[in-house]
Amino acid sequence: MTSGPAPQVECDVLILSAFEGGEELPPPAAAVDQATGGGLSALMSREKFEGKASQIAEFTPGDAVAAHKVFVIGLGKQDECDLDTVLKATAAAIKKAAGISAGKVAIAPACSFGGKCGCGPMAEAIVSVSLLAGYKFVAHKTEDPKPNSIETIELLAACKASEADMLAGIDRGKVMAEAVCFARDLTNTPANIATPEYLADQARRIADDTGLSTTILGPAEMAEMDMNLVLAVACGSDREPRFIALKYEAAGAAKTVAIVGKGLTFDAGGLCLKPGRYMDSMKTDMAGAGSVLAAIKAIAALKPDVNVLCLIPATENMPGGNALKPGDIVKAFSGKSVEINDTDAEGRLILADAVAYAEREKVDEIIDIATLTGACEVALGKNVAGLMATDQGMIEKLIAAGKAGGEKLWQLPLEPEYEETLSSDIADMKNYAPEAGAITAAQFIKKHINGTAWAHIDIAGPSYGESPYMSAKGATGFGVYTLVNYITNGA
């Protein structure tokens, strides 16, 4: 962080901001404009720069300014500007800076000129998105064809009074960016490497690095505990399942939140086999597991006053000779019997055992996150996750927590009459109903909880694709911000 005047900041690219319809340039941009004898405002006029959200004007300032290039990013109308607008505009500018091989970038945050988001949150958001915008998964390339040129990103302090808030925001932003990159790496890793045991190894590593307690259960231990739904999904695969538990404990904490991630390291659909054209992306069916592992890693660093239990049922869903068959009946950890009428509706099965385990541990709240249904992606698209819960307060807090990190969640109704479509003639319930697919999937999980406050986040759409905060297609790490913000902001 630097507190020097914008024209004197030495860098390859200086990123400034402007609002749509503003009569005056914000102070950092005005200082650059004055230093260049009105050159910046003249350029903006020539290029018809109006300050619309994510619009970028590029300026070569000359010797009067220490930066080699100046980018002015539009943030839209000032009274409508929020963190999501700032995140998208900053990401676009960072990508553009990388495109011209900039090594050092300096950014004047919107809070420097009266932004309503606050200096700390603004600094956190800008640092996070700046680090995430250049993310690429190149672990299995022998050479990165276009490495990220940016080595340093520096923020301009608004004033002396804001420096402490900005420094705290910078530190948190680094923690969050590291966590999201970790979630992306896990989800992008191919299934021949990212096996259930691999996820268990990652959990052990996190526990060793942070001092968290961990429990890893294999098939024998799960059988003793009657985690039969997890075992049923796993029985078609040669790879053994794992049930992973990590615990963060805060001194004097009055509340415990369980975060549960679906850990399908590869989903072929079981005997209800998926079409081949969809199967190559099924390594990403453990994105929920990646998000909760990354979240507890960040939580261990940020140290909130809330206990957190992280649970991951990890398995493959394969069509082997011992695979689960349509028509089978399995007794769940909750004690309820399930008729299997679709082996490709497996995520809800393993989550049902996990949430029942969380309730047995007497947690106060349960949040599960999963790439659960194509129906949710059809309904809400690639940018919005579906959210259902038994507690409206949790809904509102989770939506706000996601918004603060650029993650959009939309509440779907848990209509009681839809739950009736899961009725079975020969068991307590079926595992699949074709109508209202995202809702009935959540309702199946809910049937295995007896009163504990619970929320379900379906990230089938936004877990993978082309995020506006990324430079390449792939896993997004969606859900890390929502979970961490929810827990650290007074869950």
Q: Are residues 236 and 334 in the same domain?
A: yes
**18 lies in the same domain as 68:** yes
Tell me the per-residue pLDDT of 285-314, one tens digit each, with 9 for 90 and over.
Answer: 999 999 999 999 999 999 999 999 999 999
**Residue 96's CATH number:** 3.40.220.10
pTM for the model stands at: 0.93
Number of other CB atoms surrounding residue 119 within 10 Å:
25
Tokens of 28: 């950092």
- Which tokens belong to 216? 């890893």
**Whether 191 contacts 265, CB under 8 Å:** yes
Taking alpha carbons only, the member of 446, 415, 444 closest to residue 427 is 444
Q: What pLDDT, on a 0 to 100 scale, did the predictor assign at position 264?
A: 98
Phi (first) and psi of residue 329, to 5 degrees: -120, 130
Assess whether 188 and 152 both reside in one domain.
Answer: no
Give me the number of domains the chain comprises. 2
Question: Are 320 and 197 members of one domain?
Answer: yes
What does the pLDDT look like over 210-225, one tens digit per residue?
A: 999 999 999 999 999 9
Domain CATH code at residue 277 = 3.40.630.10
pLDDT recorded at residue 163: 78
Within-domain flag for 35: yes
Domain that holds residue 142: 6-156
Whether residue 33 is contained in a domain is answered as yes
- Tell me if residue 117 falls in helix, strand or coil: coil
**Does a structural domain hold residue 165?**
no
Q: Is residue 119 part of a domain?
A: yes
Sign, CA torsion 411/371/369/436: positive
Give percent helix, percent strand, percent coil of the chain, each to the nearest 5.
40, 20, 40
User: Which pLDDT score, from 0 to 100, does residue 111 have?
Assistant: 59
Whether residue 199 sits in one domain with residue 145: no
CA 78 to chain centre: 27
169 within some domain: no
What pLDDT is recorded for position 333?
Answer: 98
Q: Same domain for 123 and 214?
A: no
Q: Which residues are catalytic?
A: 274, 348
Residue ranges in the chain whose pLDDT is less than 50: 112-115
